[in-house]
Amino acid sequence: MADIAVKSGRVIDEAAARARVLTGFKFRDTAFRWLTLSAAVIVLLLLGGVIATLINGSIPAFKAFGFRFLFTNVWNPATGQYGAPAAVYGTVITSIIAMVIAVPIGLGVAIFLTELCPHALRRPIGTAIELLAGIPSIIYGLWGLFVLAPFLQQHVQPLLIGLFAKVPVFNILFAGPPYGIGLLTAGLILAIMVIPFVSAVSRDVFDTVPPLLKEAGYGNGFTTWEVISNIVIPYTRVGVLGGVMLGLGRALGETMAVTFVIGNADVIPTSLMAPGTTISAAIANEFTEAVDELYTSSLIELGLILFVITFVVLSISRLMLMRLERQAGR
Amino acid sequence: MALYENRKRANAIWLGLCYASVVFGLTFLVLILITLFWNGFSGLSLKVFTQSTPAPDSEGGLLNAIVGSLIITILGVLIGTPLGILAGTYMAEYGRNSKLASVVRFINDILLSAPSIVVGLFVYQVMVTRMGHFSGIAGAVALAVIVIPIVVRTTENMLLLVPGSLREAASALGLPRSTVVQRIAYKAAQAGLITGVLLAIARVSGETAPLLFTALNNQFFSTDLNAPMASLPSIIFQFAMSPYKGWQSLAWTGALLITLTVLGLSILARTLSSQGRTR
């Protein structure tokens, strides 16, 4: 029977057609697989490309200054002398101010949302905070420049100057005329931007604590705070740290919000209220004005330094969060 | 008994601080929104949508910036989305547990939170210096670089949620793998994929730093992709830093428009993704 079927022309045609369709399937399969694979490789190349172009762009500055760029505190386009310390200092100080304010408050908000908040309010408040994390940074900058800076200048900074005038160390940190704009204002704006991040990540992390553990704590007569400090926080330590580092990475690289309120002075001020600059603010402000190659290249080298710093911070953060995910999956 | 009292007091103090931090955080955030709406709405008029940006101390609107923002954003999303979806597909469908996928996942997460100004520097060197001038297309590419990691992340997560039995059922019918992915997995994850794209649009529509030295800015109406192009964020930056009251007021109006767009897109994305989950 089969022989006859194969011998009749119609069936042979059908078999050939079937084979053609199957080859087509196979071809499309392979093509699609390669397409997706190459897209994934492009993502890798993207990061490689960013690093390569930054290194390539900073070669002239590196040739001119070498490692002095990192340690010589000078930024003078007129004489063609450039150095990173002022910008790096501003970046680090504003981020530290931001984290000192944002971490306790972000954690407080997360604790409120997971442990204290009535169920009906949990979703709206959580959603509101997540939406606020999505507001563009330029909006925060605008608000900082027109609302926060004048307010600090008129009300908060004179108070701080008066309060700490006779206290050693602090009288240097809080010295000088109240400009309104400066490192402190930039740190505060960054803190407001980072709070939603810290609280959103910590909230997700707190939600992974098994209810059984908390119930055991309450069963032993713990107060709510004791459950939080002895069970919830130790259990989620790694994840919370990951979230904090993620916020720090954001604060370090944030550009627009800082550029508006930092004051853009290429100096290392001793007072927290004095104008300064950060890496990203310097790039944003000066890049289009930079005419000669050395100036542009110095700004790109600043960008490279920023990228290296944030890369390290973000890597640590991701590794911590990944460790937590693996833990939760177990 | 003293110990018990102390524990109770500590509990009250710490929980009180938690409430205080919520009040602190929300106060600032509400304050920002109130000033934004207050200052933004007062400048809102028909002129904003029909006239281009003015010279100092004269009347005008934001038409060139709105159009420029739309063009750059849409183009950036059109470039970034297919790449992001394909890369996410590889990670979820083909290389799920492979070394490459985990490396890409890690790198993608780094790109996701990398400073956007660095992306601007990257595109400046790759495109602007080669072409010799700032251009709208360079701005779009810069935004695409920001779109990609967001879309990769959501695509991978959403495809992982699609049950394996669905794919097995389709494969059992004799469908090739690529058709299973395209017709079955994409379809099942549709809401999630759209959410990812919406979130990416929301994110890039307010991006300023990467546009500063790619698309630069333009005071005049222009749809030429090969020339500098205006965008709302860069106009806001320029006008807010200027001493002119009229420009500052336009900056607030532009900020309001961006915020409304971003909030609208985020809410849309949320409702879509929650619908997808309950289904």
**Predicted complex ipTM:** 0.88
Average confidence score pLDDT of chain A = 86
Check residue B246 and give its pLDDT.
Answer: 85
* Residues 114-143 of chain B whose Cβ lies under 8 A from any Cβ of chain A: 114-119, 121-122, 124-126
Closest to B24 (Cβ–Cβ): which among A35, A105, A303? A105
User: Does pLDDT of B279 surpass 50?
Assistant: no
Q: What is the pLDDT of residue A56?
A: 93
- pLDDT (tens digit per residue) in A205-215: 898 889 999 99
Q: Output the pLDDT for position B278.
A: 46
Nearest to B176 among A28, A47, A253 (CB): A28
**Shortest Cα–Cα distance, A129 to chain B (Å):** 8
Stretch B142-164: mean pLDDT: 93
pLDDT in tens, A82-123: 888 889 999 999 999 999 999 999 999 999 998 888 888 888
| pLDDT band, residue A14 (cuts 50/70/90) | confident
What dihedral angle (degrees, nearest 10) is formed by the CA atoms of B37, B38, B40, B46? 110
Assess contact for B23 and A238: CB atoms under 8 A. no
Scanning B39-98 for CB atoms below 8 A from A yields 39, 82-84, 86-87, 89-91, 93-95
pLDDT tens by residue, A278-312: 999 999 988 888 778 888 899 999 999 999 999 99
Residue B50 or residue B278, greater confidence:
B50
Closest residue to A44, CB basis, from B8, B103, B113: B103
CB contact under 8 A, B236 and A106: no
Contact A142 B240 (CB under 8 A): yes
Kindly report, residue by residue over A226-262, the tens digit of the pLDDT: 999 999 999 888 888 888 998 999 899 888 889 988 8
CA distances from A328 to A14, A17, A210, A244 (A): 53, 51, 10, 19
pTM for the structure as a whole: 0.88
Cα end-to-end distance, chain A, whole Å? 58
Looking at beta carbons, which residues of chain A come within 8 Å of B35?
Answer: 143, 146-147
What tens digit of pLDDT does each residue of A132-152 get? 888 888 999 999 999 998 888
Cα distance from B110 to chain A (closest Cα, Å)? 6
CA distance B161 to B158: 5
Backbone angles phi, psi at A264, to 5 degrees: 50, 55
C-alpha torsion sign, points B142, B146, B152, B154 = negative
The answer to whether the CB of B249 falls within 8 A of the CB of B56 is no
Q: What confidence score (pLDDT) does residue A279 get? A: 92
How far apart (Å, rounded) are the C-alpha atoms in residues A65 and A81?
8
- Give the pLDDT mean for A38-59: 93
Kindly report, residue by residue over B100-118, the tens digit of the pLDDT: 998 999 999 999 888 999 9
Read off the pLDDT of residues B236-274 as tens digits, 9 standing for 90 and up: 988 888 888 888 888 999 999 999 999 999 889 888 877
Q: Residue B95 and residue A32: Cβ atoms within 8 Å? A: no
Tokens (6 digits) for B153:
């992340």
Q: Which residue of B has its CA nearest to A245?
A: B113
